Amino acid sequence: MAFATAKDGTQIYFKDWGAGQPVVFSHGWPLTADAWDPQLKLMADNGFRAVAHDRRGGGRSGQPWDGNELDTYADDLASVIETLDLRDVILVGHSTGGGEVTRYIGRHGTSRVAKAVLLGAIPPLMLKTEANPEGLPMDVFDGLRQGVLADRSQFYKDLSAPFYGANRDGSKVSEGTREEFWLWSMTVGIKGAYDCIKAFSETDLTEDLKTFDIPTLIAHGDDDQIVPIVASAEKSSQLVKDAVLKVYPGAPHGLAMVPEFADRFDADLLEFARG
């Protein structure tokens, strides 16, 4: 297996498929790089070099006690990019991974980056505050923490329903897709999973978004029950200069892994990458 070494010595696993302009994917919580496999294959099949890493704390990466916050996640992403000496990169981040991409650009700039895609992404801020009344109240995130601590196995099984929209009438989400979600989630250490909730809910990425100076696609389902579009994509698209906002009617948070929506996203991703 291939690894990059983070600043604190943590080993960050990555997969590296194909050849061509690099497309680097950052996954959502509480998953792993495997969640991006269909898109990795898509891009590698179409002449791109597709790279994705497991966030520290889970999957095949190290599980350190510290560093489970967005500054370090962004620096870990930088370690992967620099280890492979990638340039002209297209960054793609889903959910927490979208926050990771955003903080990477805020901390490391765009000298190695050509484009960015934020899918169902957490920026600018998920938490409800006086300045961000559209956000979710703290008790939502306290509930996530309690679920992780009390019975994370059952919690992840339950969470897969709103994540994929399997709790909606007429849903075609398979049981296998939900079990896959559980399997990935259970590879994440409880400390990393717990700490990441604070990272993705309380980190304000407003100023990071303002530094974007590259073509940016912001994609979001309007039935996202995990990261509501009103507090995320709609605001981010106003903060990123010349961003393109793509809304998928009826789509859930994990739309890239649900066939009826994934085909549309995949086509948009490929078109954006080639454009």
CATH of the domain at 221: 3.40.50.1820
**C-alpha dihedral sign at 40, 3, 190, 230:** negative
Cis amide prior to 215 (ω within 30 degrees): no
What confidence tens digit (pLDDT) does each residue in 237-246 have?
Answer: 999 999 999 9
Q: How many domains does the chain have?
A: 1
Tell me if residue 127 falls in helix, strand or coil.
strand
Residues 161-174, mean pLDDT to the nearest whole number: 97
CA distances from 157 to 48, 69, 162, 164, 175 (A): 34, 25, 10, 11, 10
- The span from the CA of 55 to the CA of 96, in Å, is 10
Residue 37 has a pLDDT of: 98
Residues 181-205, mean pLDDT to the nearest whole number: 98
Write out the residue range of the structural domain in which residue 54 sits. 2-274
Residues 65-89, mean pLDDT to the nearest whole number: 98
Residue 211 has a pLDDT of: 98
Residue 165 has a pLDDT of: 98
State if pTM tops 0.95: yes
Indicate the pLDDT class of residue 1, thresholds 50, 70 and 90: confident
Residue 115 has a pLDDT of: 98
- The catalytic residue positions are 95, 224, 253
Residues 65-90, mean pLDDT to the nearest whole number: 98
Mean pLDDT over the full length of the chain: 98
- Taking 90 as the threshold, does the pLDDT of residue 156 lie above it? yes
Indicate the pLDDT class of residue 202, thresholds 50, 70 and 90: very high
